[in-house]
A = this chain, B = another copy of it.
Amino acid sequence: MSNPMFDVIQEDLKQLDAGLLDAVSSPVELIAEVGTHLVKAGGKRIRPALCLLAARGGPRFDLQRALPLAEALELIHTASLVHDDVIDQADTRRGSATANARWDNQIAILSGDYIFARAFALIADGDYGAHVSKRLAELVGNLSVGEIIQDHTVYQAVRDLNNYYDRIRKKTADFLEICCELGADIGGMDRADQQKMAEYGHCIGMAFQITDDLLDIWQSSEQIGKPAGNDIRQGIVTLPVIHALTVSPDAEELERIVTNPEMTDSMVQRALDIVRATDGPDIARAKADEYLDRARQVLPGCLSPEIDEAFRMLADFIGERDF
């Protein structure tokens, strides 16, 4: 799939993909094979794209300097997903076999470590300074912490939306924020504009995750490449479910299902029906739109029209997302 908002960095992204394959190459055949599979099974490259766009938005853009940072960001994302898939015992991701399914847990855990290490090697090679290294180390730490918190609050019908927002911030928004901020940093934007780009990334990330969670409720498995109701099945309550737990006439039944680690497929289906019958999906959509409006507002004035337009198109795209 080609995202129109990435047209301006289409050539950059080709180089990025080549760089990613190079980063996971190894004289050990098995490792090269796993790395190549994971890079090729990769998704929309939103994180490196944000970094590259932000870097292009600055006064001192240098593609060869920006690429290793963008690659490291994608590799950190990849490694983190590889470990999540082991934990979730997931067989597929984005329609491709996970590393744990295609090889085994052992390979998946160690390949994840290897890919994290390759990301930090790219950062060390790039010599971006202690600030960048520190932000990325914090990012990896916070991703793990966020995942631990999420995994240990599953099958709880927590009705507190702040808890939900905090969770998706740690899971997605902080990451997209860092991509924009560090891209702006190495592109040479001043600190004020870096912070605006960081806020754009945060808002895009919140909207993206809310939309993602909404799609899990709303879409068929063909469209999103994983079974609908996957979050509910894993005991993760998202915005529409939290809302339904408050407003649905069937809230008690919904609570019994989402707090039951042994729930069956038909129970998941019933939970989806209950949530879909409420205005939870509309509320989630409205909240995502609110974040997207804020994202558009906060874009710094220093951006060239072309880059500004790309960032606006990304916001539009997330608002209309149905993949």
Contact = CB atoms under 8 A, between A and B. Distances in A.
Interface in A221-251: none
How many monomers of this protein are in the complex?
A: 2
B148 A111 contact: yes
Contact of A30 (B112, B139, B148): B148
Interface string A36-54: 0000000000000000000
Of A28, A121, A148, which is in contact with the most chain B CB atoms at under 10 Å from its CB?
A148
Contact of A137 (B80, B121, B140): B121
Given A148-B107, A148-B111, A141 B124 contact: no
A130 B87 CA distance: 33
A133 B120 contact: yes
A106 B144 CA distance: 10
Interface in A139-195: 139-141, 143-145, 147-149, 151-152
Contacts of A7: none
A14 interface: no
A112 B139 CA distance: 15
Given A121-B134, A134-B125, A140-B120, A145 B114 contact: yes
A303 B145 CA distance: 43
Nearest to A80: B113
Given A28-B148, A130-B127, A145-B31, A137 B109 contact: no
A267 interface: no
Contacts of A133: 120, 123-124, 133
B87 A116 contact: no
A117 interface: yes
Interface residues of A, number: 43
Interface string A90-128: 000000000000000111011111101110110111010
Given A30-B148, A152-B30, A110 B87 contact: yes
A270 to B, nearest CB: 27
A138 interface: yes
A124 B130 contact: yes
Nearest to A120: B137
A83 interface: yes
A110 B84 CA distance: 9
Contacts of A140: 113, 116-117, 120
Contacts of A141: 114, 117-118, 121
A274 interface: no
22 contacts: A30-B148, A31-B148, A80-B113, A86-B105, A86-B109, A87-B106, A87-B110, A107-B151, A109-B109, A110-B144, A112-B113, A114-B141, A114-B148, A116-B116, A117-B141, A118-B137, A120-B133, A120-B137, A121-B141, A123-B137, A125-B130, A133-B133
Given A110-B144, A110-B151, A114-B145, 17 more contacts: A28-B145, A28-B148, A86-B109, A87-B105, A87-B109, A106-B151, A107-B148, A112-B113, A113-B140, A114-B144, A116-B140, A117-B138, A117-B141, A117-B144, A120-B120, A121-B138, A133-B133
